[in-house]
A = this chain, B = another copy of it.
Amino acid sequence: MVEQNSGHLDKVFRALADPTRRAMLRELSARELSVSELAAPHAMSLAAASKHLKVLENAGLVDRRIAGRRHRVRLAPARLAEAHEWLHFYERFWNERLDALARALKEPE
């Protein structure tokens, strides 16, 4: 039970550690997009955006389906769920803190 999906989590968290890539995921949450549509809002070359996309793809966070000369890129949420689940373990720790705060605020003296 030594954290079997560690490999996934490495890539997923690494992919999420960049604001350009997080922004791309947000954009993909609205609709499927092509590579150049994804690149457009980000002040960098198309090649750089293409690299970011590859990082997301390699982490399993997006799917790509090639349709002629355009690549249609979609959000692939499963591995986001894994990351969310990993963090879920710690939920009780921040809840404990909120509870302690709430108790402290309620104390009359």
Contacts and interface: CB of A to CB of B under 8 A. Distances in A.
A87 B84 contact: yes
A26 B1 CA distance: 13
B77 A84 contact: no
Chain A binding surface, main DSSP class: helix
Nearest to A10: B17
| Copy total for this chain | 2
B94 A77 contact: yes
Interface residues of A, number: 32
Contacts of A29: 89-90, 93
A65 interface: no
A10 B14 contact: no
Contacts of A22: 3, 6, 9, 86
